[in-house]
Structure 1
């Protein structure tokens, strides 16, 4: 039994739905299908989820919303008519949107319901299309599938008891089509995972039914060793470990949501990333373990939009409770940190810019000075992080030397480095405007 998840590009229009139908027909073991909301049809298009968010925000704020509603329904209607499916399906989607608008749900719960319509509608359309091909298929709501969650401001979290209910899906006949991205609380309230959460649903279903393989269909033949927008025709990665993929997805690799593999990882289920537009390509396998390789670096990931607090205090290392007090300030100001490299008298705290308004920055600096009695507190903005990833890096001599030499040759100044905290990655902090130059030099050093 395989679980196949199809991303937004795979269900962007009627032609893509047809490709998905062919892929499902080609392999009888693809029994459970998870789908995203329709993605972009072209570069300047808008994802369905973004349209639904705009509709929801406009409606709850009592602003003009009908243009969004018309755009959404036109797009669904076009897919349904081109697939020669019943107009009743279009009416069902429109009725769903109107029922959300007339509900008495709380603000956040109503927005979640709007956001979930994309995935829910994709699943209903795909199941109807498969039936039109003579395939025994049916739509399964996440509640009926057993996806029970607890709501959380950062995204719904699956409850452990869900896996027992999900396992029962193995007993169902035919093909089951399940919408990704959302589940239900024990009170029956719809809750969404964090953005990109359809990958999470796919991984949860694969773990729950104990699938032999979780296939994740996207719009690329494989995972690449570096961002193709920076390096032309980068090398493909044939095999990755879970830990390598986790590090890569965290640091800017857009193939996978960075939480997505956790359920599959815990259940030791292999994952294959494949291309809906080229399904015969072998793709990239993600496994628990792989054979050691002399060229241990598999990828170079990067992401911008970071800032850092630099805190210096003489004899910081001897002051009991210094770290606890520092992180308590961040917790009380509702700011999470990404990395915290430190020395004996200083520490850097790396934070995503999205969490750090000017007002928040001023408050934290004041509290660091006052409550920690710091000698120096400075803030550095416009930072980018580069992650060099590969199993066995910790045991391979010369990794840091190769990386720092490459950055030096590119005339890129290293703002910070963090190697010892991970066995599979080495992190560098640099200025954002040096990012492309740094990546090109590192790629040349490790892959050319």
Structure 2
């Protein structure tokens, strides 16, 4: 008999409630990962995310083997593969940590019903959010739509639980069911291999995630509030892909940050923003495609000019800070948060391209793109989302560079041609396109 732990976006051993529940059964424990790109509504991963997933799964498999267990890989709809694994492993229980996207919740709920009908113990745990989405509501029982009162309500709740320790040993079954070979999944780019910059910038996996958290808290957190908006300062945490893939739990981040003794209120509020995004997705599963503010359904987007979209994607807009950010994204799979806001504003409000096109590009190129934060932040910049920046707030990328990259260090690193005065000419006039965007917004307000 076996207890299966179904890993998803929680590729770690420390603070893993589903793993702890499986161990508490006293049965041999076997890890499982299902690459499910077929269940209705489940969004296939982008290219950068697939690269990260490959390496994080390799790390997790190695760590489970060191502890005495294994990770079985299967590909296909979870509704088919999990029951098959229950049979193959003679499992009495399947344990997982909860997901909050609409399609994923439907998959999990149906599987729980199916497994329990067969007499299999199927249990889910809270592990990926500090506060479950249905627990944080206004006095009237409604979800929050503005971040500040949302986060204030979270902070008034009982403190998040302490993280669970990593198990010393994980005894696996005597016989391991057949597993796919990770390399056969084709998660890594090969023709061409565009991931050289990702390999240089990142080491996926739980051990590297722990190291990064402790290095940030030891070296950079004291400067975080002062310099977090300066892309050349290098004081951001670098934890966004770690949290996205669950190599760290938010409970671990929360308690280690507080234990550091530093002033971490500003940093923890960014963890709160992540929570707010997931709570919003829980209530609005179509966040990646549908305006939260339905007035924006009438926004008069002009006919798409593919050449402008390509110039933005490739960092060839002629606007130094925008081009630097887009090239950093292509090279490393991430972009500084301040610059993310600038490039998003430029796409939506200067190029007048629908925010969904930007969300799709980030989904494909960010290693930290998840189903909540990516569309949530795009809608925030576009003005159509929860607690959104007003549409008339247009980030001027030249003024943003003067304020946050005053010595041009960031642009020099990622767009040296601009620093040398040899960059491409601007594809649009910033003043004219800002005026056009505001005129379009006025039409929405009148309409």
TM class by smaller structure: under 0.3
> Structure with the greater relative contact order (CA < 8 A, sep ≥ 6): 1 or 2?
2
The structure with the largest strand share of the pair is 1
Give the alignment's TM-score, normalised by structure 2.
0.27
